[in-house]
Amino acid sequence: MILRHLLLPDILELVEANRLNEVRDFLAKQPAPEITDLLAALDDKDALLIFRVLPRTLADEVFSLLEPNLQNWMLKNMAQEEVRYVLKGLTPDDRTALFEELPARVVKGLLTLLNDKDRKLALTLLGYPEGSVGRLMTDRYVTVNPDWTVTQTLDHLRAAGMDSETMTMIYITDAEGHLVDDLRLRRLILAAPMTRVRDLLDGHYASLTSLQDREEAVGIFQDYDLFALPVVDADGVLLGIVTVDDILDVAEEEATEDFHKMASVRPLQTSLKDATIRLLVHKRIGWLLALVGVNIFTGMGLSIFEETIQKVVALVFFMPLLIGSGGNAGSQAATLLVRAIATGDVESGDWWRIFFREIAVSVSIGAIMSAAVFFLGWWLGHSLGVGVVVAASMFALVIMGSLLGTTLPMLLDRLHLDPATAAPPLITSVADILGILIYFSIATLFFRWLPIG
Amino acid sequence: MILRHLLLPDILELVEANRLNEVRDFLAKQPAPEITDLLAALDDKDALLIFRVLPRTLADEVFSLLEPNLQNWMLKNMAQEEVRYVLKGLTPDDRTALFEELPARVVKGLLTLLNDKDRKLALTLLGYPEGSVGRLMTDRYVTVNPDWTVTQTLDHLRAAGMDSETMTMIYITDAEGHLVDDLRLRRLILAAPMTRVRDLLDGHYASLTSLQDREEAVGIFQDYDLFALPVVDADGVLLGIVTVDDILDVAEEEATEDFHKMASVRPLQTSLKDATIRLLVHKRIGWLLALVGVNIFTGMGLSIFEETIQKVVALVFFMPLLIGSGGNAGSQAATLLVRAIATGDVESGDWWRIFFREIAVSVSIGAIMSAAVFFLGWWLGHSLGVGVVVAASMFALVIMGSLLGTTLPMLLDRLHLDPATAAPPLITSVADILGILIYFSIATLFFRWLPIG
Contacts of A235 (CB under 8 A, 6+ apart): A178
* pLDDT score of B266 more than 90: no
- Of B353, B432, B354, residue with least CA distance to B397: B432
Rounded to whole angstroms, how far apart are CA atoms A402 and A326? 7
Q: What is the pLDDT of residues B419-441, one digit of tens each?
A: 776 667 778 888 888 998 999 99
The CA-to-CA distance between both ends of chain A, in Å, stands at 67
Distance from CA of A83 to the nearest CA of B (A): 23
Residue B4's pLDDT is 63
Contact A31 B224 (CB under 8 A): yes
Contact B227 A223 (CB under 8 A): no
Rounded to whole angstroms, how far apart are CA atoms B58 and B29? 10
Residue B422's pLDDT is 60
Within 10 Å of residue A371's Cβ, how many Cβ atoms? 12
Chains A, B: CB contacts within 8 A come to: 349
Rounded to whole angstroms, how far apart are CA atoms B324 and B373? 13
- Are the C-beta atoms of B231 and B241 separated by less than 8 Å? yes
Q: What is the pTM of this model?
A: 0.72
Sign of the C-alpha dihedral computed for residues A337, A338, A344 and A350 taken in this order: positive
**What percent of chain B has pLDDT above 90?**
13
Rounded to whole angstroms, how far apart are CA atoms B254 and A255? 10
What residue in A sits closest to B315 (Cα-Cα)?
A299
- Of A219, A225, A127, A210, residue with least CA distance to A169: A225
Contact A300 B310 (CB under 8 A): no
Residue A268's pLDDT is 66
Sign of the C-alpha dihedral computed for residues B240, B245, B248 and B254 taken in this order: negative
Question: What's chain A's length in residues?
Answer: 453
Contact A303 B314 (CB under 8 A): yes
Angle at A368 between CA A364 and CA A370, to 5 degrees: 110
- Of A137, A198, A207, A209, residue with least CA distance to A172: A198
Rounded to whole angstroms, how far apart are CA atoms B179 and B138? 16
Angle at B27 between CA B21 and CA B32, to 5 degrees: 145
The CA-to-CA distance between both ends of chain B, in Å, stands at 67
Distance from CA of A346 to the nearest CA of B (A): 6
Residue B161's pLDDT is 60
Residue A421's pLDDT is 65
Phi, psi for residue A398 in degrees, rounded to 5: -65, -40
| Mutate which: A158, A247, A252, vs B, most B CBs within 10 A | A252
Task: Tell me the pairing of strands A208-209 and A228-232.
Answer: parallel
**DSSP label of A164:** -
For residue A260, the chain B residues in CB contact (below 8 A) are: 335-336, 339
For residue A249, the chain B residues in CB contact (below 8 A) are: 222
Residue A453's pLDDT is 44
Q: How confident is the model at residue B397 (pLDDT cuts 50, 70, 90)?
A: very high
Contact A189 B157 (CB under 8 A): yes
- Which residue ranges form the domains of chain B, and what is each CATH number? 2-129 (1.25.60.10), 143-244 (3.10.580.10), 290-449 (1.10.357.20)
- Picking from A263, A313, A398, the nearest residue to B424 by CB comes out as A263
Distance from CA of A231 to the nearest CA of B (A): 17
What residue in A sits closest to B228 (Cα-Cα)?
A227
Contacts of B175 (CB under 8 A, 6+ apart): none
Q: What is the ipTM of this complex?
A: 0.71
What residue in A sits closest to B356 (Cα-Cα)?
A277
Q: What is the pLDDT of residues A393-437, one digit of tens each?
A: 999 999 999 999 999 888 888 887 777 766 677 788 888 889 989
Using only C-alpha atoms, chain B has a radius of gyration, in whole angstroms, of: 30
- Are the C-beta atoms of A435 and A401 separated by less than 8 Å? yes
Rounded to whole angstroms, how far apart are CA atoms A330 and A427? 7
Tell me the average pLDDT across B139-157: 86
For residue A226, the chain B residues in CB contact (below 8 A) are: 245
Contact A251 B249 (CB under 8 A): no
For residue A336, the chain B residues in CB contact (below 8 A) are: 260, 263, 265, 268, 272
Please name every residue paired with A181 in a beta bridge, in sequence order, or none if there are none: A172
What residue in A sits closest to B289 (Cα-Cα)?
A369
Distance from CA of A377 to the nearest CA of B (A): 10
Burial class of residue B268 (count of CB atoms within 10 Å of its CB; 0-12, 13-18, 19+):
buried
Q: Which residue has the higher pLDDT, B368 or B68?
A: B368
**DSSP label of A132:** B
For residue A323, the chain B residues in CB contact (below 8 A) are: 320
Contact B248 A244 (CB under 8 A): yes
What residue in A sits closest to B355 (Cα-Cα)?
A273
- Are the C-beta atoms of B144 and B200 separated by less than 8 Å? no
Q: What is the pLDDT of residues B249-263, one digit of tens each?
A: 888 887 877 777 766
Rounded to whole angstroms, how far apart are CA atoms A209 and A239? 9
- Of B316, B317, B294, residue with least CA distance to B305: B316
Burial class of residue A196 (count of CB atoms within 10 Å of its CB; 0-12, 13-18, 19+):
middle
- Picking from B320, B323, B368, the nearest residue to A285 by CB comes out as B368
Task: Tell me the pairing of strands B143-144 and A169-173.
Answer: unpaired
What residue in A sits closest to B5 (Cα-Cα)?
A349
- Of B342, B340, B302, B314, residue with least CA distance to B433: B302
- Picking from B161, B190, B340, the nearest residue to A186 by CB comes out as B161
Contact B263 A424 (CB under 8 A): yes
- Give, for all 453 residues of chain A, the pLDDT tens digit: 556 666 777 777 887 888 888 888 888 888 888 888 888 888 888 888 888 888 888 888 888 888 878 888 888 888 888 888 888 888 888 888 888 877 777 888 888 888 888 888 888 888 888 888 988 888 878 888 999 998 888 888 877 765 555 667 889 998 888 999 998 887 887 788 889 999 989 878 888 998 888 888 888 888 877 788 999 988 888 988 998 888 888 888 878 777 777 766 776 667 777 778 888 888 888 878 887 877 778 888 888 888 888 888 888 888 888 888 888 888 888 888 888 887 777 877 788 888 999 999 999 999 999 998 998 888 877 888 889 999 999 999 999 999 999 998 888 888 877 777 666 777 888 888 899 899 999 999 988 876 554
Distance from CA of A125 to the nearest CA of B (A): 21
- Are the C-beta atoms of A423 and A362 separated by less than 8 Å? no
For residue A65, the chain B residues in CB contact (below 8 A) are: 223, 225
Q: What is the pLDDT of residues B268-290, one digit of tens each?
A: 667 777 778 888 888 788 878 88
- Are the C-beta atoms of B214 and B250 separated by less than 8 Å? yes
What residue in B sits closest to A31 (Cα-Cα)?
B204
Average pLDDT over chain B, rounded to an integer = 83
- Picking from A31, A260, A324, the nearest residue to B204 by CB comes out as A31
Distance from CA of A298 to the nearest CA of B (A): 7
Distance from CA of B86 to the nearest CA of A (A): 19
For residue B263, the chain A residues in CB contact (below 8 A) are: 262, 331-332, 334-336, 424
Residue B453's pLDDT is 44
- Are the C-beta atoms of A172 and A143 separated by less than 8 Å? yes
What residue in B sits closest to A372 (Cα-Cα)?
B289
Contacts of B152 (CB under 8 A, 6+ apart): none
Angle at A96 between CA A170 and CA A66, to 5 degrees: 100
Give the CA distances from residue A249 to residues A60, A157, A448, B218, in Å, rounded to whole numbers and listed in that order.
Answer: 19, 29, 61, 10
Contact B299 A380 (CB under 8 A): yes
- Picking from A272, A313, A320, the nearest residue to B340 by CB comes out as A272
For residue B167, the chain A residues in CB contact (below 8 A) are: 185-186, 189
Per DSSP, helices labelled H in A214-276 are 214-224, 244-262
- Picking from B227, B313, B325, the nearest residue to A168 by CB comes out as B227
